[in-house]
Structure 1
Amino acid sequence: MSDSPDVSRAVVTPVRVVIALCLLAPFVALLWVGSYAKTDPAFAGIPFFYWYQMLWVIISTALTMTAYQLWRRDQRARAAARTQDGGASE
Protein backbone atom coordinates (compact mmCIF):
# COMPACT_ATOMS: atom_id res chain seq x y z
CA MET A 1 0.00 0.00 0.00
CA SER A 2 2.76 2.42 0.86
CA ASP A 3 6.20 2.61 -0.66
CA SER A 4 7.95 3.12 2.67
CA PRO A 5 10.21 0.25 3.76
CA ASP A 6 9.35 -1.85 6.79
CA VAL A 7 11.00 -0.48 9.89
CA SER A 8 11.81 -3.14 12.46
CA ARG A 9 11.01 -1.73 15.86
CA ALA A 10 12.58 -2.84 19.09
CA VAL A 11 10.22 -5.18 20.87
CA VAL A 12 10.35 -5.87 24.59
CA THR A 13 10.06 -9.61 25.08
CA PRO A 14 10.54 -11.75 28.20
CA VAL A 15 13.85 -13.01 26.79
CA ARG A 16 15.12 -9.46 26.37
CA VAL A 17 14.07 -8.61 29.93
CA VAL A 18 16.09 -11.60 31.18
CA ILE A 19 19.06 -10.43 29.10
CA ALA A 20 18.81 -6.96 30.62
CA LEU A 21 18.62 -8.39 34.14
CA CYS A 22 21.67 -10.59 33.49
CA LEU A 23 23.65 -7.55 32.44
CA LEU A 24 22.32 -5.25 35.16
CA ALA A 25 22.77 -7.57 38.16
CA PRO A 26 26.58 -7.20 38.48
CA PHE A 27 26.33 -3.41 38.37
CA VAL A 28 23.72 -3.31 41.11
CA ALA A 29 25.57 -5.84 43.26
CA LEU A 30 28.92 -4.06 43.05
CA LEU A 31 27.75 -0.44 43.11
CA TRP A 32 25.84 -1.05 46.36
CA VAL A 33 29.06 -0.97 48.38
CA GLY A 34 27.30 -0.72 51.74
CA SER A 35 26.07 -4.29 51.33
CA TYR A 36 29.59 -5.75 51.30
CA ALA A 37 31.81 -3.16 53.03
CA LYS A 38 32.76 -5.42 55.94
CA THR A 39 35.44 -7.89 56.88
CA ASP A 40 33.35 -10.78 58.20
CA PRO A 41 32.72 -13.49 57.17
CA ALA A 42 36.26 -14.23 56.07
CA PHE A 43 36.90 -17.01 53.57
CA ALA A 44 40.30 -18.74 53.79
CA GLY A 45 41.61 -15.70 55.65
CA ILE A 46 40.41 -13.29 52.94
CA PRO A 47 38.07 -10.52 54.19
CA PHE A 48 34.51 -10.55 52.85
CA PHE A 49 35.05 -7.25 50.97
CA TYR A 50 37.64 -8.84 48.68
CA TRP A 51 36.24 -12.32 48.11
CA TYR A 52 32.76 -10.94 47.41
CA GLN A 53 34.14 -8.83 44.57
CA MET A 54 36.19 -11.72 43.18
CA LEU A 55 33.13 -13.97 43.31
CA TRP A 56 31.25 -11.41 41.22
CA VAL A 57 33.94 -11.65 38.53
CA ILE A 58 32.95 -15.29 38.03
CA ILE A 59 29.22 -14.60 38.37
CA SER A 60 29.46 -11.70 35.90
CA THR A 61 31.19 -13.92 33.37
CA ALA A 62 28.45 -16.54 33.65
CA LEU A 63 25.69 -13.93 33.40
CA THR A 64 27.31 -12.26 30.39
CA MET A 65 27.66 -15.63 28.63
CA THR A 66 24.03 -16.41 29.38
CA ALA A 67 22.91 -13.02 28.05
CA TYR A 68 24.97 -13.52 24.88
CA GLN A 69 23.53 -16.97 24.23
CA LEU A 70 19.99 -15.71 24.80
CA TRP A 71 20.64 -12.77 22.47
CA ARG A 72 21.95 -15.04 19.72
CA ARG A 73 18.93 -17.34 20.06
CA ASP A 74 16.59 -14.33 19.95
CA GLN A 75 18.29 -12.96 16.83
CA ARG A 76 18.10 -16.34 15.06
CA ALA A 77 14.40 -16.63 15.91
CA ARG A 78 13.71 -13.11 14.63
CA ALA A 79 15.63 -13.80 11.41
CA ALA A 80 13.71 -17.04 10.88
CA ALA A 81 10.40 -15.28 11.50
CA ARG A 82 11.38 -12.52 9.06
CA THR A 83 12.29 -15.13 6.43
CA GLN A 84 8.99 -16.96 6.89
CA ASP A 85 6.98 -13.74 6.74
CA GLY A 86 8.87 -12.56 3.69
CA GLY A 87 8.38 -15.85 1.86
CA ALA A 88 4.68 -16.03 2.67
CA SER A 89 3.88 -12.51 1.51
CA GLU A 90 5.52 -12.90 -1.90
Structure 2
Amino acid sequence: MVTPVRVVIALCLFVPFVAMLWVGSYAKTDPAFIGIPFFYWYQMAWVLISTALTMIAYQLWRRDQRGRSSRKGGVAE
Protein backbone atom coordinates (compact mmCIF):
# COMPACT_ATOMS: atom_id res chain seq x y z
CA MET A 1 0.00 0.00 0.00
CA VAL A 2 1.39 3.40 -0.97
CA THR A 3 0.99 6.03 1.72
CA PRO A 4 2.43 9.55 1.95
CA VAL A 5 4.81 8.40 4.69
CA ARG A 6 6.15 5.63 2.48
CA VAL A 7 6.65 8.07 -0.38
CA VAL A 8 8.73 10.29 1.94
CA ILE A 9 10.72 7.23 3.05
CA ALA A 10 11.40 6.30 -0.58
CA LEU A 11 12.51 9.85 -1.38
CA CYS A 12 14.84 9.91 1.62
CA LEU A 13 16.52 6.75 0.35
CA PHE A 14 16.46 7.67 -3.36
CA VAL A 15 17.82 11.24 -3.27
CA PRO A 16 21.41 10.30 -2.24
CA PHE A 17 21.64 7.80 -5.13
CA VAL A 18 20.60 10.45 -7.64
CA ALA A 19 22.98 12.99 -6.14
CA MET A 20 25.94 10.62 -6.38
CA LEU A 21 25.12 9.09 -9.77
CA TRP A 22 24.75 12.50 -11.44
CA VAL A 23 28.54 12.97 -11.64
CA GLY A 24 28.34 15.89 -14.07
CA SER A 25 26.85 18.03 -11.30
CA TYR A 26 29.96 17.80 -9.13
CA ALA A 27 32.84 16.88 -11.46
CA LYS A 28 34.69 20.17 -10.96
CA THR A 29 37.26 21.69 -8.66
CA ASP A 30 35.63 25.04 -7.83
CA PRO A 31 34.37 26.19 -5.39
CA ALA A 32 37.02 24.92 -3.04
CA PHE A 33 36.27 24.67 0.67
CA ILE A 34 39.26 25.20 2.99
CA GLY A 35 41.50 24.13 0.13
CA ILE A 36 39.55 20.94 -0.68
CA PRO A 37 38.27 20.75 -4.27
CA PHE A 38 34.49 20.71 -4.75
CA PHE A 39 34.55 17.14 -6.09
CA TYR A 40 35.77 15.78 -2.74
CA TRP A 41 33.89 17.90 -0.23
CA TYR A 42 30.60 17.47 -2.13
CA GLN A 43 30.90 13.69 -1.81
CA MET A 44 31.86 13.88 1.86
CA ALA A 45 28.91 16.19 2.54
CA TRP A 46 26.62 13.61 0.98
CA VAL A 47 27.95 10.97 3.36
CA LEU A 48 26.58 13.06 6.24
CA ILE A 49 23.38 13.99 4.39
CA SER A 50 22.77 10.35 3.45
CA THR A 51 23.23 9.30 7.05
CA ALA A 52 20.67 11.86 8.21
CA LEU A 53 18.19 10.90 5.48
CA THR A 54 18.57 7.19 6.27
CA MET A 55 17.95 7.87 9.97
CA ILE A 56 14.83 9.87 9.09
CA ALA A 57 13.60 7.09 6.79
CA TYR A 58 14.17 4.49 9.52
CA GLN A 59 12.32 6.50 12.15
CA LEU A 60 9.41 7.07 9.76
CA TRP A 61 9.34 3.36 8.94
CA ARG A 62 9.25 2.40 12.61
CA ARG A 63 6.44 4.87 13.27
CA ASP A 64 4.52 3.54 10.26
CA GLN A 65 4.97 -0.06 11.43
CA ARG A 66 3.84 0.76 14.97
CA GLY A 67 0.77 2.50 13.57
CA ARG A 68 -0.06 -0.44 11.34
CA SER A 69 0.35 -2.97 14.15
CA SER A 70 -1.81 -0.95 16.54
CA ARG A 71 -4.55 -0.70 13.90
CA LYS A 72 -4.33 -4.46 13.33
CA GLY A 73 -4.15 -5.22 17.02
CA GLY A 74 -1.12 -7.45 16.51
CA VAL A 75 2.64 -7.40 16.48
CA ALA A 76 4.57 -5.65 13.69
CA GLU A 77 6.27 -7.99 11.24
Is the TM value for this pair above 0.5?
Answer: yes
TM-score (norm 2): 0.95
2:28 matched to 1:61?
A: no
For 2:9, the equivalent position in structure 1 comes to 19
Query: How many angstroms apart in 1 are the aligned matches of 2:18 and 2:3?
Result: 22
Query: How many angstroms apart in 1 are the aligned matches of 2:25 and 2:42?
Result: 10
How far did residue 34 of structure 1 move?
Answer: 0.1
For 1:79, the equivalent position in structure 2 comes to 69
Larger radius of gyration: 1
How far did residue 33 of structure 1 move?
Answer: 0.0
Partner AA of 1:32 in structure 2 = W
TM-score (norm 1): 0.81
Q: Percent identity over the alignment?
A: 80
Number of residues paired by the alignment? 74
**Matched position secondary structure for 2:32:** coil
Unaligned runs of 5+ in 1: 1-10, 85-90
Partner AA of 1:33 in structure 2 = V
Unaligned runs of 5+ in 2: none
For 1:30, the equivalent position in structure 2 comes to 20
Partner AA of 1:41 in structure 2 = P
- For residues 32-83 of structure 1, give each alpha carbon's deviation from its aligned partner in whole angstroms, at most 9, with x where no partner exists: 0000000000000000000000000000000000000000000000000001
For 2:34, the equivalent position in structure 1 comes to 44
